[in-house]
């Protein structure tokens, strides 16, 4: 890399707009959405989709609520042309969905595009030609006037053929391709020249798509370009300004959102950002960003996992694990402090029905996307007690007391660290069982029975100690106290009960209870034990022996 990149590269010049308005605006409604998955997204695939795959993805886009879908470039190949014909002839397009087709300003391509649309109910014919200085110089070798002439001629060829689409609701769209790298004055000139041919009106608007074909500037510059066009374009009320951003600088979402503040009303993009080079705008992100701010996006991503599977099957692409909203890990916390905050936030949310969502680290409720809370917290060596406790409770109903969380959390983390990978809830439960419930040395319960009332209880029990059976008898103000007294009488180390919790693990005739007992030794140290039994009286007795065994080993 150059130590002085300015010798080779330069920043894109700013737009002179000293009274720009977009920085102080707030979005109040979602834009018109147009999916370009089947054209721009398909064009970017190493192996383009076949007709069956395109049909499946088209149906998925319709279910999501897209009302405008760019279905292809029908003049580019027979596959693209036949796809259009199947959509139309098989009646696959809902009455409220408009299909859009892209075409260059060439007469033969326009002719084939119009042929592909005969019989459709609602269509957008999308004309484009390149306008940037580099395209004019390198690709076409033409002057500005000659580039304008190409656009005007293309617009006229389309207009001349509109009678052949009688009975079809036809809307027209023009894109000065590479708009973001084009002088705004020239972009205005060529756009208005096309408008002069098509003669849009406030009642019958055309779409003016101003693409960030290649990101060449910071997103605020793109917003300035959009606002400049919106404020200076003649007959602005006869035009819908549309955005089509790419992600070369990694700011496609920001450019789109700022462009909407700057006056645009429509957005083109793809599911999960598939597209040329670094990709198109991820339309899911912008839609869900609206959603998390309380704006109805008019798109339904409530079954996002299913949509990801369809997308990956049809395109052969994969959704990155960290892709906003859709990625496998976006509602996952590995950090212990994050896990603890999420767990507490989710618990609080359940008590605040009707209030606004405000859970730490979760911008939206995963359930709104068809995700499960069990996906929120996962455990690896970086996790803390909160994550461990959450998985045990959410998957198995094991509600560890706070102090027991503090004791078991580090033990679990050490075990996970030795494994060197993420662990499942089932593995965590097995770790807990081995540490607390499967300890049979030196004490193992054989039999326990207690009688009493009015605070006076006696117990008779038997246990194995170091393999030998021992008879135990004791008294106390309850069954647990009586058993502790019996252990002391048999020569077990002195201790006292510091804490006791118990709850049901399941329901029905085979319901189990789990008990947690914390003992305090003469030196002040504490140990927890746990016991499970269908008999709620036996579970805490087993927990006492679990704590004693852990204190002795």
Instruction: Give the whole-number percent of the chain exceeding pLDDT 70.
Output: 98
Q: Return the pLDDT at 374.
A: 61
pLDDT band at 553 (very low <50, low <70, confident <90, very high): confident
The verdict on 447 and 431 lying in the same domain is no
CATH of the domain at 507: 3.30.160.270
Q: Return the pLDDT at 3.
A: 87
The verdict on 377 and 517 lying in the same domain is no
Q: Is 327 among the domain residues?
A: no
The verdict on 514 and 480 lying in the same domain is yes
Given the structure tokens 């796809």, which residue do they identify?
83
Lowest mean pLDDT among 352-356, 414-418, 532-536: 352-356
Residues spanned by the domain of 113: 32-315
Average pLDDT (237-252) is 97
pLDDT band at 390 (very low <50, low <70, confident <90, very high): confident
What torsion do the CA atoms of 35, 38, 44, 47 make, to the nearest 10 degrees? 150
What are the tens digits of pLDDT across the range 264-288? 999 999 999 999 999 999 999 999 9
Lowest mean pLDDT among 346-360, 428-442, 491-505: 346-360
- CA 319 to each of CA 82, 297, 311, 369, 371: distance values in angstroms, whole numbers, following the listed order: 29, 21, 9, 15, 16
Please measure the distance between the N-terminal and C-terminal CA atoms of the chain and give it in whole angstroms: 60
Strand order in the sheet with 468-476: 443-453, 456-465, 468-476
The verdict on 252 and 373 lying in the same domain is no
Q: Is 24 among the domain residues?
A: no
Query: Whole-angstrom Cα distance, residue 480 to residue 461?
Result: 12
**CB contact at 8 A, 218 and 184:** no
Collapsing DSSP to helix, strand or coil, 426 comes out as helix
Instruction: Give the whole-number percent of the chain exceeding pLDDT 90.
Output: 83
The verdict on 363 and 302 lying in the same domain is no
Does the pLDDT of residue 384 top 90, yes or no?
no
The verdict on 175 and 276 lying in the same domain is yes
CA-nearest of 231, 199, 194, 224 to 209 is: 194
**CB contact at 8 A, 101 and 68:** no
Q: Return the pLDDT at 531.
A: 95
Q: Return the pLDDT at 260.
A: 98
The verdict on 358 and 273 lying in the same domain is no
Q: Is 27 among the domain residues?
A: no
The verdict on 167 and 241 lying in the same domain is yes
CATH of the domain at 91: 3.20.20.70
Query: Whole-angstrom Cα distance, residue 162 to residue 255?
Result: 34
Q: Return the pLDDT at 151.
A: 98
Average pLDDT (320-349) is 89
Q: Return the pLDDT at 433.
A: 96
Which of these three, 382, 404, 435, is where a domain ends?
A: 435
Q: Return the pLDDT at 62.
A: 98
Q: Return the pLDDT at 340.
A: 85
What are the tens digits of pLDDT across the range 99-157? 999 999 999 999 999 999 999 999 999 999 999 999 999 999 999 999 999 999 999 99
Judging by DSSP bridges, how do beta strands 32-35 and 68-72 pair with one another?
Answer: parallel
Does the pLDDT of residue 375 top 80, yes or no?
no
Q: Return the pLDDT at 373.
A: 61
Query: Whole-angstrom Cα distance, residue 407 to residue 200?
Result: 72
What are the tens digits of pLDDT across the range 192-207? 999 999 999 999 999 9
CA-nearest of 125, 13, 20, 137 to 73 is: 125
Q: Is 97 among the domain residues?
A: yes
DSSP at 240: E
Average pLDDT over the chain reads 94
What are the tens digits of pLDDT across the range 60-108? 999 999 999 999 999 988 889 999 999 999 999 999 999 999 999 999 9
- CA 437 to each of CA 173, 387, 495, 552: distance values in angstroms, whole numbers, following the listed order: 70, 21, 19, 15
Q: Is 530 among the domain residues?
A: yes
Query: Whole-angstrom Cα distance, residue 446 to residue 406?
Result: 31
Q: Is 237 among the domain residues?
A: yes
What are the tens digits of pLDDT across the range 43-55? 999 999 999 999 9
Given the structure tokens 């053929």, which residue do they identify?
161
The verdict on 168 and 303 lying in the same domain is yes
pLDDT band at 506 (very low <50, low <70, confident <90, very high): confident
Q: Which long-range contacts (CB under 8 A, 24 or more apart) does 480-489 make?
A: 480/517, 480/540, 480/541, 480/544, 481/457, 482/450, 482/452, 482/457, 482/458, 483/448, 483/450, 483/459, 483/541, 483/544, 484/544, 486/459, 486/461, 487/443, 487/544, 487/548
How many C-beta neighbours within 10 Å does residue 235 have? 15
The verdict on 105 and 146 lying in the same domain is yes
Q: Return the pLDDT at 420.
A: 86
Per the structure, the count of domains in the chain is 3
Query: Whole-angstrom Cα distance, residue 545 to residue 553?
Result: 12
Query: Whole-angstrom Cα distance, residue 118 to residue 128?
Result: 21
Ordered alpha helix ranges (H), 170-276: 184-198, 219-232, 252-261
Write out the DSSP string of 478-525.
SHHHHHHHHHHHTTPPP-EEEEEEEEES--STT--EEEEEEEE-TTS-
Does the pLDDT of residue 309 top 60, yes or no?
yes
Which of these three, 280, 315, 350, is where a domain ends?
A: 315
Residues 6+ apart with CB under 8 A from 539: 502, 512, 513, 514, 515, 531, 532, 533
What are the tens digits of pLDDT across the range 441-487? 999 999 999 998 878 999 999 999 988 999 999 999 999 999 999 99
Q: Return the pLDDT at 417.
A: 86
> Residue 355: enclosing H or E segment and its boundaries?
none
pLDDT band at 242 (very low <50, low <70, confident <90, very high): very high
Does the pLDDT of residue 356 top 90, yes or no?
yes
The verdict on 477 and 411 lying in the same domain is no
Taking the model in full, what pTM does it have?
Answer: 0.79
The verdict on 460 and 413 lying in the same domain is no
Q: Is 166 among the domain residues?
A: yes
Q: Is 4 among the domain residues?
A: no
């Amino acid at each position: 890399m150059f130590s002085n990149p300015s010798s080779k590269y330069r920043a894109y010049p700013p737009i002179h707009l000293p009274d720009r308005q977009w920085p102080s605006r707030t979005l109040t409604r979602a834009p018109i959405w147009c999916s370009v998955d089947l054209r721009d997204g398909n064009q970017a695939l190493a192996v383009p989709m076949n007709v069956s795959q395109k049909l499946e993805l088209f149906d998925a886009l319709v279910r999501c609520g897209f009302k405008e879908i760019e279905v292809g470039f029908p003049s580019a190949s027979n596959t693209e042309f036949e796809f259009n014909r199947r959509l139309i002839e098989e009646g696959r397009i809902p009455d409220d969905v408009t299909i859009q087709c892209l075409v260059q300003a060439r007469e033969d391509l326009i002719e084939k595009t119009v042929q592909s649309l005969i019989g459709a109910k609602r269509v957008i014919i999308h004309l484009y030609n390149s306008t940037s200085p580099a395209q004019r110089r390198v690709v076409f070798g033409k002057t500005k006037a000659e580039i304008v002439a190409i656009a005007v001629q293309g617009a006229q060829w389309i207009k001349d053929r509109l009678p052949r689409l009688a009975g079809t609701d036809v809307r027209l769209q023009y894109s000065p391709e590479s708009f973001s790298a084009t002088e705004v004055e020239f972009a205005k000139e060529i756009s208005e020249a096309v408008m002069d041919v098509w003669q849009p009106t406030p009642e019958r608007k055309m779409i003016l798509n101003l693409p960030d074909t290649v990101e060449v500037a910071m997103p605020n510059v793109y917003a300035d370009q959009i606002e400049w066009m919106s404020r200076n374009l003649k007959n602005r009320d006869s035009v819908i300004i549309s955005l089509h951003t790419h992600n070369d600088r990694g700011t496609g979402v920001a450019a789109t959102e700022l462009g909407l503040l700057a006056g645009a009303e429509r957005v083109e993009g793809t599911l999960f950002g598939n597209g040329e080079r670094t990709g198109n705008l991820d339309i899911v992100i912008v839609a869900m960003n609206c959603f998390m701010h309380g704006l109805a996006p008019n798109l339904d991503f409530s079954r996002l996992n299913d949509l990801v599977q369809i997308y990956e099957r049809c395109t052969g692409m994969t959704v990155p694990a960290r892709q906003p909203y859709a990625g496998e890990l976006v509602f996952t916390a590995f950090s212990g402090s994050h896990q603890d905050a999420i767990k507490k936030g989710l618990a609080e949310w359940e008590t605040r029905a009707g209030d606004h969502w405000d859970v730490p680290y979760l911008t939206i409720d995963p359930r709104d996307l068809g995700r499960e809370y069990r996906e929120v917290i996962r455990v690896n060596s970086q996790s803390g007690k909160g994550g461990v406790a959450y998985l045990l409770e959410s998957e198995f109903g094991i509600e560890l007391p706070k102090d027991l969380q503090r004791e078991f959390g580090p033990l679990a983390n050490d075990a996970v660290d030795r494994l060197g990978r993420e662990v499942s809830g089932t593995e965590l439960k097995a770790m807990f069982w081995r540490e607390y419930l499967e300890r049979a040395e030196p004490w193992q319960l054989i039999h326990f029975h207690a009688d009493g009332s009015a605070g006076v209880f006696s117990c008779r029990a038997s246990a194995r100690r170091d393999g030998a059976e021992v008879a135990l008898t004791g008294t106390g103000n309850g069954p647990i106290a009586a058993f502790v007294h019996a252990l002391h009488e048999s020569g077990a180390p002195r201790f006292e009960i510091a804490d006791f919790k118990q709850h049901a693990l399941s329901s029905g005739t085979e319901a189990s209870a789990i008990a947690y007992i914390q003992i305090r030794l003469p030196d002040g140290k504490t140990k927890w034990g746990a016991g499970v039994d269908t008999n709620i009286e036996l579970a805490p007795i087993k927990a006492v022996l679990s704590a004693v065994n852990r204190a002795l080993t």
